Structure 1
Amino acid sequence: MKAPLSEAVRKSVLLNGLSEEVRDRLLKDSVQRSYAEGETIFLQGDPARAVFIVLRGFVKLSRMTPGGAEAVVSILGRNRSFAEAMALRGTPYPVTAEAISDCTLLQIDGTRLRHVLLENPEFAIGLLASTFVHFQALVNQIENLKAHTGVQRVAQFLSTLTEAESGPCEVALPYNKRLIAGNLGMQPESLSRAFARLREHGVKVDSSKAVIDDIAQLRLLAQD
């Protein structure tokens, strides 16, 4: 495996528990692919032939509803993997994957994934861990939609963009506001209203960043 991939591989839930020998076998035929913002990685219904790990940038997973509207399922950043279950079972992708920024992905062949799993039961732990991360993210998403207001959802989203524990901070918005709204289950106009309401709580948002007076207070607002 090439050196530039080492950090991403170590931090990937899918791969970080593997021995070096098993990991190298799995990644033997893997390739890095770069995508420009707006480029499609695969379409909903395409045969699932590969698993992907995000090395750089952001990827949107979405589904088209029967009415023709787009439903954002997830937005994934660095070190997150996707399409494991479909590649393992050989079923079609249930979502469309699109680069929402310039990004680089590690593409792992699905057939090799299945062979390594059959020959190395330890790899099953990595797959289970990765599946749990996806499941937990969906549970959190459902909880946020049902139990939290729009303002709380936005506050929680902003609080994940920094590791600061208290005091003032400034965070860069990782993608455009339309995508933020879709990821939070909101309409763009509802997101704008939530941003306006957050001014009362010391948060000022412009086109590309948010200035937060006290990140600890914002996290309390998100949890109330």
Structure 2
Amino acid sequence: MISIMSEWTQLFEDAPQRKFAKGDVIFRRDDPVRSMFLVRKGSVALERPLADGGLLTLNTAGPGTALAEASLFSESYHCDAVAQSDAKVAVLARIKFLSALRQCPDSAMSMIETHAKAVQAQRARIEILRLRRVSDRLDAWLDLNGEPPKGEWIKIAEQIGVSPPALYRELAQRRK
């Protein structure tokens, strides 16, 4: 997932935008990759259905974030993209996006740089998720990010892979 407004996002300047209501599917796993997407408003989750019927949220994209850019060089998507709130998404044909990157090396380098930062953040998240205890996961997240703004703790629960009640129990324990 690529985030942060960078030079490469300018490639979407004139791209048509589509509106999605909460719960709408933007694409499904195994759909052919025909477009590149940039979230303009709202949030979109990249999800992978699990064999037990659950869902694994790979990432949640907010404004200024590309969707499934790792699929840009694949034949099909490796996950589902589902609007988590009402969303507006810019859509650019894959072939047009790739052509624009080839014609503008600065945009291509900007995308590579932004993607490298996203990969580092995802690797850190994986390391956090590998920890067994809620307290260890929270400590690791806080070491990397610092304390979140007031009212944002519920978002941390999803990022560290625990339920909100489990996180709130851990926070209450720390206050004692």
TM-score range, shorter chain: 0.7 to 0.9
Superimposed CA distance per residue, residues 111-139 of structure 1 (whole angstroms, 9 cap, x where no aligned partner):
11111122222222122123213312220
Q: SS state of the match for residue 48, structure 2?
A: strand
- Alignment of structure 1 residues 52-67 onto 2, 5 Å: 52-67=37-52
**Gapped runs of 5+ residues in structure 2?**
none
Q: Report if the CA contact (8 A) 1:12-1:81 is conserved.
A: no
Superimposed CA distance per residue, residues 82-140 of structure 1 (whole angstroms, 9 cap, x where no aligned partner):
222323x2521111000111121222221111111222222221221232133122201
The letter for the 2-side match of 1:33 is R
- Taking the aligned partners of 1:97 and 1:65, their CA distance within structure 2 comes to 15
- Structure 2 residue corresponding to 1:137, chosen from 111, 117, 121: 121
The letter for the 2-side match of 1:197 is E
- Does residue 1:127 correspond to 2:136, yes or no? no
- Alignment of structure 1 residues 1-224 onto 2, 5 Å: 11-13=4-6, 15=8, 23=10, 26-27=11-12, 30-87=15-72, 89-147=73-131, 149-153=133-137, 156=141, 161-162=148-149, 170-172=150-152, 183-186=159-162, 188=163, 191-202=164-175
Q: Report if the CA contact (8 A) 1:53-1:80 is conserved.
A: yes
Superimposed CA distance per residue, residues 152-201 of structure 1 (whole angstroms, 9 cap, x where no aligned partner):
54574896642xxxxxxx325677xxxx7554333x4xx41331221233
Q: SS state of the match for residue 8, structure 2?
A: coil
- Taking the aligned partners of 1:159 and 1:59, their CA distance within structure 2 comes to 25
The number of equivalent residue pairs is 170
Greater RCO between the two (CA within 8 Å, min separation 6)? Answer: 2
The percentage of aligned residue pairs carrying the same residue is 24
**Gapped runs of 5+ residues in structure 1?**
1-10, 17-22, 163-169, 204-224
Q: Report if the CA contact (8 A) 1:41-1:99 is conserved.
A: yes
The letter for the 1-side match of 2:89 is L
The letter for the 1-side match of 2:172 is R
Q: Report how far residue 35 of structure 1 moved.
A: 1.1
- Please report the RMSD computed on the Cα atoms of aligned residues, expressed in angstroms: 2.9
Q: SS state of the match for residue 93, structure 1?
A: coil
